[in-house]
Amino acid sequence: MGRVAEPALGRGSMVSPIPHSATLTSVVGSSSTRRRLVLILGSGPDSPSARLVSGLAAAAVAAGHEAKVFLLGDGVLAAEQVALPGASVAHCDADWRWRRGGEMPDPRVFRGSLRDLALWCREADRVVQFR
């Protein structure tokens, strides 16, 4: 299950759960306005969440939205699965070193930190976290 939040600087976030059957419309709404979407994945490559994040990011890019995926915890192991053309993907470097180490095998995924995630969330229209 994921959680969606609409960032509201200075007022906290409005958070509501979304099911694994979520669609792009249920995440970004039906507006034709280009949205900035941040997807946060904290579960490994074999999880339903990893498949959902990959599908939502691909659908967002295809619909003309900006999609950014941040991998943390076991999510760093799903890097190759969610590294999609047109989507920005970063992994938490500390989690990567703890779980696997070495260089990231996919050049489309860049090394990041929670600071990068905070900056992405600050600029996003929607932030969705998957465990």
CATH assignment, 35-130 = 3.40.1260.10
Structure tokens at 72: 């943390």
Rounded to whole angstroms, the Cα distance separating 106 from 9 reads: 34
Q: What does the domain layout of the chain look like in residue ranges?
A: 35-130
Rounded to whole angstroms, the Cα distance separating 76 from 70 reads: 9
Per-residue pLDDT tens over the stretch 51-109: 999 999 999 999 999 999 999 999 999 988 888 889 999 999 989 888 887 777 778 88
The mean pLDDT value for 107-115 works out to 89
pTM assigned to the model: 0.80
What are the two backbone dihedrals, phi and then psi, of residue 122, each rounded to the nearest 5 degrees?
Answer: -65, -35
3-state helix, strand, coil in the chain (%, to 5): 35, 30, 35
